[in-house]
Amino acid sequence: MNIEKGADKIVKTLRVLVTDQPGYLGRLTSAIGNERGNIGDIRLISAGLTHNLREISIYVDNESHLKRIVSAVSGVEGVSLEEVVDLVEKAHLGGKIAMKSRVPITSLGDIRKIYTPGVASICRKIQQRPELATMYTGIRNSVAIVTNGTAILGLGDIGPVAGMPVMEGKAVLFDHLVGISGVPILIKSKNIEHIIQTIWHIAPTFGAIKLEDIAAPDCFEIESRLAEMLDIPVMHDDQHGTAVVVLAALLNATRFTGVTLSDVTVGIIGLGAAGIGITKLLLAHGVKQVIGTDLNESAKEMLNSLGGTATDLSGVMNDAEIVIATTGCPGLIKPEMVRKGQIILALSNPDPEIRPEVAMAAGAAFAADGKSVNNALAFPGIFRGALDAGATAINKQMLLAAARAIAEHAGHGELVPGILDANVHAAVSDAVFKAAWDSGVAQP
């Protein structure tokens, strides 16, 4: 599995003054270990005549666990706890993104070229030939990351502003992985018409629209109608980005276990945006039997309308060789529900329906969570390829091509490759670019 150390734990940093004599640092680390704290990096910040200032990263289960460790550290002779630093909070201070100029300004002449009076000639060119905007502006390399905050991660309806850190994170990944300018757009509305009209009116600013963390069933109508109204790609990432990475993982998992994906029964637990998106792509790939369950009866009806079969939780666990969970309900899948040889992808973040190691211990052939089977493997390359092709839409052919590219770049024994592998995103981009041209949605 591609699961990072301490993935299910909270990371904190202890800033401590430690007596600069033999034994004191050892007593400190022993105190942390005695309270089941997992130690990461130990960094020397500064060295004094009698004490050294160090930062020690620790992985803890929860705030109560942290308090026990802090209490133990505070009782160690010759050690003074100066501060407990939350590295996640520190990384978010001031926000994670900023708009930067791509051109240097060192003189008044530079300003005259990029602003008045020089910019007027460029405006006139675009007025006369609107297609030149792709050459003379950043529109074609910009993607709107739009949310109304109704389905943020596994946290639910927490509002657009509370969801902004997620949108900023997506923008960071766009920039770092494929060089796209992602711009968060927060919409304070749950009215479908308001959302659609808002996006339609701002669409000329962007080369594509990425819908993010908008709850089902509204997300389906919003995406569908915008795709018809706009001549640029529109993709709801929770549906299609997730689906692409899940398909990639299953292509490898079934290859490892020697079964044919199209012949097995796939069970979906949770038929929201991700669950329905996964269902659509699996059926497009050729999977013949998809069963699923949800607390919402209308979601079950949607599954039936797509060609799947609605059942209940026990039905999925008893009848499916592959189980995919996207419920946002930690611990929903109990170890005793797991059948020997099943493939289980428990994808809710930040906490999965069952932890991969628990599922494996219960008999699963393969198991992974949303930290490894993550849509960040898909959306950067999908949008890069679509923008480069001048695509008017993102279709199933492009999504299937992306899934195959991801699967092909996984290492030996891995379901999916690492998110930071630049070769993966380049391969996805190339595959999507080719599929856009082959399927007739690309334009120069």
Residues annotated as catalytic are 115, 170
**End-to-end alpha carbon distance in the chain:** 40
Contact 278, 268 (CB under 8 A): yes
Contact 394, 233 (CB under 8 A): yes
Strand ranges of the sheet holding 142-147, from the earlier edge strand across to the other edge: 181-186, 142-147, 208-211, 234-236
Closest among 320, 288, 294, 322 to 306, alpha carbons compared = 288
Contact 299, 273 (CB under 8 A): no
C-alpha 149/C-alpha 219 separation (Å) is 12
Helix (H, G, I), strand (E, B) or coil at 54: strand
Contact 320, 291 (CB under 8 A): yes
Q: Which residues pair with 210 in a beta bridge?
A: 145, 235
Contact 336, 243 (CB under 8 A): no
Helix (H, G, I), strand (E, B) or coil at 78: coil
Helix axes 24-34, 63-74, angle to 10 degrees: 150
Q: What type of residue sits at position 234?
A: V
C-alpha 193/C-alpha 292 separation (Å) is 30
Residue 134 neighbours by CB under 8 Å, 6+ apart: 140, 207, 390
